[in-house]
Amino acid sequence: VGAILLHIDSPGGHVAGTKELADDVAAVDREKPVHAYLEDTGASAAYWIASQARTIAANAMAMVGSLGTFTVLYDLSKMAEMEGVRVHVVSTGDRKGAAAPGMPVTDDDLVEAKRLVDGFDGFFRAAVREGRELGAKDASALWTGSMWMAGEAKGLGLLDRVEALDASVERLAAPLRARAAKARLA
């Protein structure tokens, strides 16, 4: 195996495991070239992973970005009350059980959620800055949650190439075939 191509088509997902997978991509790339191809969508956690590859390409219609981190807290307390349900949380600490379904979401719950979101996002930003060799200012400008078409994403430094998958595979395979042919002649 002379190189690895990650074929990605994902809107992202949960933060759990994303840092570890992205770190693994970066570690493998130090031993063997890893390239990412974004088929139609490379967003959020999926982009975090792709950002650790040596190069990133995408098809012209691919949507790239959605950089940032979020969580959702549902305040279902009024609904529970209307249904005649009273929710009681018995816990070992002030924050344990906070924002449990049926409980009101408090200002403290929102502050705590924001603290966690910002913490996770710090890892995401650092990885993209390092993987894409962006300055802090450049990376911060991308942290709007917006999606961009591939051409725009390339202009912003999020992609190296806009090309079809077949072209990407051929571009990566050609030097490997040449090297293999040269080795057979030696």
CA atoms within 13 A on the CB side of 121: 18
What is the CATH classification number for the domain harbouring 181? 3.90.226.10
User: Percent of the chain beyond pLDDT 70?
Assistant: 99
What pLDDT band is residue 155 in, cutting at 50, 70 and 90? very high
What 8-state DSSP symbol labels residue 104? P
The pLDDT of residue 186 is 67
User: What's the whole-number average pLDDT of the chain?
Assistant: 95
What pLDDT band is residue 180 in, cutting at 50, 70 and 90? confident
CB atoms within 10 A of CB 127: 22
pLDDT per residue over 126-148, tens digit each?
999 999 999 877 888 899 999 99
How many structural domains are present in the chain?
A: 1
* Residues in contact with 66: Cβ distance below 8 Å, sequence separation at least 6, in sequence order: 11, 12, 43, 44, 47, 145, 146, 147
Query: Which neighbouring-strand residues pair with 8?
Result: 38
What pLDDT band is residue 169 in, cutting at 50, 70 and 90? very high
**Rounded to whole angstroms, what are the CA distances from 57 to 24, 45, 118, 134, 171?**
20, 17, 29, 17, 11
CA atoms within 13 A on the CB side of 45: 15
How far apart, in whole angstroms, are the C-alpha atoms of residue 156 and residue 146? 12
pLDDT per residue over 97-115, tens digit each?
998 999 999 999 999 999 9
The pLDDT of residue 157 is 95
Domain containing residue 118: 4-185
The pLDDT of residue 15 is 95
How far apart, in whole angstroms, are the C-alpha atoms of residue 65 and residue 139? 12
